A and B are shown apart, each in its own frame.
Chain A
Amino acid sequence: MENMRERFARVTTGLLDSDARLAVVLADISADLFDAAKARHPDRVVNLGIREQLLISVAGGMSLAGIRPIAHTFASFLIERPFEQIKLDLNHQAGSAGAILVSSGASFDYSSSGRTHQSPGDVALLGTLPGWTVHIPGHADEAEPLLRAAAAGDGLVYLRLSALANSAPLARRSDGFTVLRRGNQATILAVGPLADAVIAATAGMDVTVLYAPTIRPFDRQTLRATLSAPVVVLAEPYLTGTSVPEVALTLADLPHRVLGLGVGREELRHYGTPEQHQAAHGLDAASLRNQIAGFIGIEDSGRGRVPARSLA
């Protein structure tokens, strides 16, 4: 099945044919996926070589000229390495056409590559800057309409693609949170590719489950409108607690409890598979079930009970 990165390349190749103001800027990563597009549009598919500071600055400079740029590489080299270029050459310049950053690799797609190729902090880092829309699609069928909408727009958009995906698309709306289930004891917000694990983890629990393929702007309205009890658990496939402040702002006038689950801050220093990393960070279904049940204070007599593990 076509993964998110392959879908990104195929859809973008088509968009380049129909939208003359769109351009793709690359730093070697995924360049082979754009060979056909480059042959057709040599001035609008540009591979800069392994130059990630230039990747962001060129996107900023194109935006100043009125081009809508899409810059792409692994998340660690797209967001973390050239962060000041994002702050100054995209945000501070505020070019007329904005920019789209599309990453792959996510938090631990490259589980065997070690820390250098893992970027759990990207969403939190972008959160220090104003104006960013951040999409965390959970399926290639969700990534595609988000990409198309971003290409047609003019703001600052981060599209975070992952090799991990849910078995089927879950989003039923183009923006904001989708209500997967309604319940009374708590709200569980599942972000992007973690949704399958959250759905399995909460089987039989009397909880509301929301699904977020877009995490910025944070859909306060839906969280508030569907809130049954002021108890919220976030399951985010990146740095633990990244969106806890958003929940706190949403529920600022209510006594409430919130638990952020996600990728631990400490380095794992293990290799293996993405699934092993997910489990090591307590983000597999069994670990999620234990943590969620413990936090909302329900006796869990359900299946798959595993010993509670501490987050790294």
Chain B
Amino acid sequence: MNNASTLRRYSYADLPSLIALMTGDEKHDLASMSTLDVIWALYDRVLRVSPSTAGSESRDRFYLSKGHGPMAYYAVLAAKGFIMPDDLARYGRFDSLLGQHPDRNLVPGAEISSGSLGHGLPLAVGTALGLRAMGLTSDRVFVLTGDGELDEGSGHEAIAFGGRAGIDSLHCVVVDNSSASLGWPGGIETRFAAEDWSTVRVDGRDHDALEAAFTLPHPGRPHAVIAVINRA
């Protein structure tokens, strides 16, 4: 983590150069990263967590369930001071903190280890229940899944229970880039809505729309944001 003397403020415009530290490609196209805008909007505008509060019992949690392709996540963590740009340059090496799937025991600021699909939302249900049991009722949990990831049955155990239990600290962001090979006829949000989740569909590149969707009130219900990414 940065200390005060090295603290530098990064903006959204700095993300390409941070990502380039991992890819070695100066012209890497941000549009190829379906999760970048969602993760940036969350960390920049919504989540109540910072490097100085990452160890606090009370904080908002972000669970990157779709752990594959984590460069956007790492770039945002670096921009927000959880990890150093130097860490990015060692991406994927034997002694790196940063692998092709994140490990929470290695990456400062990473709340879960992921990679195998279908674990983040069920874990988030448990964390939300745990926070409720500890009386930390203002802390929120945000999970990022993909539309393809929701093929896994484990996610549907979590959707059904989360809705039935009315866990309103639970937020699921589905980055929908139409990657589920059999599709979700009627829209993936109908699976959440049937279990009494609050749902909203937004442009997954529009930061203002994402912020509004993430902060939409949903008393007594969990909330699903379907962030649509149109494939180029």
- Which of A21, A43, A64 has a CB less than 8 Å from the CB of B123? A64
Residues of B within 8 A of A66 (CB): 57, 130, 134
* Residue contact B153 to A61, C-beta cutoff 8 Å: no
B50 at the interface (CB under 8 A from A): no
Q: A43-B133, A57-B158, A61-B122 are in contact. Are A93 and B113 (CB under 8 A)?
A: yes
Residues of A within 8 A of B160 (CB): 49, 51
Interface size class on chain B is 20 to 34
Q: A53-B154, A67-B134 are in contact. Are A93 and B112 (CB under 8 A)?
A: yes
Q: A64-B112, A89-B119, A93-B113 are in contact. Are A58 and B131 (CB under 8 A)?
A: no
Residues of B within 8 A of A53 (CB): 122, 153-154, 157
Counting chain A CB atoms within 10 Å of each CB, which of B104, B119, B131, B132 scores highest?
B119
* Residue contact B122 to A67, C-beta cutoff 8 Å: no
Residues of A within 8 A of B134 (CB): 21, 65-67
B96 at the interface (CB under 8 A from A): no
- Which of A21, A25, A57, A65 has a CB less than 8 Å from the CB of B131? A65
Shortest CB distance A297–B (Å): 50
Chain B residue with Cβ nearest A62: B130
A60 at the interface (CB under 8 A from B): yes
Residues of A within 8 A of B157 (CB): 48, 51, 53-54
Q: Give Cα distance in the complex from A94 to B57, angstroms.
A: 16
User: 8 Å CB contacts to B: which residues of A31-47?
Assistant: 43-44, 46
- Which of A21, A49, A59 has a CB less than 8 Å from the CB of B126? A59
Residues of A within 8 A of B133 (CB): 23, 43-44, 62, 65, 67
B17 at the interface (CB under 8 A from A): no
- Which of B57, B119, B127 has a CB less than 8 Å from the CB of A88? B119
Q: Give Cα distance in the complex from A48 to B164, angstroms.
A: 10
Shortest CB distance A38–B (Å): 13
Q: A44-B133, A53-B154, A94-B105 are in contact. Are A65 and B127 (CB under 8 A)?
A: yes
A92 at the interface (CB under 8 A from B): yes
Q: Give Cα distance in the complex from A54 to B119, angstroms.
A: 9
Shortest CB distance B211–A (Å): 26
* Residue contact A64 to B126, C-beta cutoff 8 Å: yes
B124 at the interface (CB under 8 A from A): yes
* Residue contact B129 to A61, C-beta cutoff 8 Å: yes
* Residue contact B116 to A57, C-beta cutoff 8 Å: no
- Which of B57, B104, B128 has a CB less than 8 Å from the CB of A61? B128
Counting chain B CB atoms within 10 Å of each CB, which of A48, A62, A65, A89 scores highest?
A65
What's the tally of chain A residues with a CB closer than 8 Å to chain B? 30
Residues of A within 8 A of B132 (CB): 43
User: 8 Å CB contacts to B: which residues of A194-248?
Assistant: none
Q: Give Cα distance in the complex from A48 to B122, angstroms.
A: 11
B111 at the interface (CB under 8 A from A): yes
* Residue contact B116 to A61, C-beta cutoff 8 Å: no
Residues of B within 8 A of A85 (CB): 119, 122, 154
Q: Give Cα distance in the complex from A93 to B61, angstroms.
A: 14
B175 at the interface (CB under 8 A from A): no
Chain A residue with Cβ nearest B118: A53
Chain B positions 109 through 147: 1 when the CB is less than 8 Å from some CB of chain A, otherwise 0:
001110010010011111111111110100000000000
- Which of A43, A48, A64 has a CB less than 8 Å from the CB of B127? A64
Residues of A within 8 A of B127 (CB): 61-62, 64-65
Shortest CB distance A284–B (Å): 41
B161 at the interface (CB under 8 A from A): yes
Residues of A within 8 A of B153 (CB): 53
Residues of A within 8 A of B161 (CB): 48-49, 51, 54
Q: Give Cα distance in the complex from A65 to B130, angstroms.
A: 6
A84 at the interface (CB under 8 A from B): yes
Residues of B within 8 A of A88 (CB): 113, 116, 119
Shortest CB distance B100–A (Å): 15
Q: Give Cα distance in the complex from A88 to B67, angstroms.
A: 13
Q: Give Cα distance in the complex from A65 to B126, angstroms.
A: 8
* Residue contact A89 to B111, C-beta cutoff 8 Å: no
* Residue contact A89 to B131, C-beta cutoff 8 Å: no
Shortest CB distance A31–B (Å): 14
Shortest CB distance B152–A (Å): 9
* Residue contact B122 to A62, C-beta cutoff 8 Å: no
Residues of A within 8 A of B165 (CB): 46
* Residue contact B126 to A84, C-beta cutoff 8 Å: no
Chain A positions 66 through 109: 1 when the CB is less than 8 Å from some CB of chain B, otherwise 0:
11010000000000000011001100111000000000000000
Shortest CB distance A223–B (Å): 33
Shortest CB distance A100–B (Å): 14
Q: List 13 A-B contacts (CB under 8 A).
A: A49-B161, A54-B122, A54-B154, A57-B122, A58-B123, A58-B129, A61-B123, A61-B130, A62-B126, A63-B126, A64-B112, A64-B126, A93-B112
Further 12 A-B residue pairs, CB within 8 A, beyond A60-B123, A63-B130, A89-B123: A43-B132, A53-B154, A61-B122, A61-B129, A62-B127, A64-B61, A66-B130, A67-B133, A67-B134, A69-B126, A92-B113, A94-B105
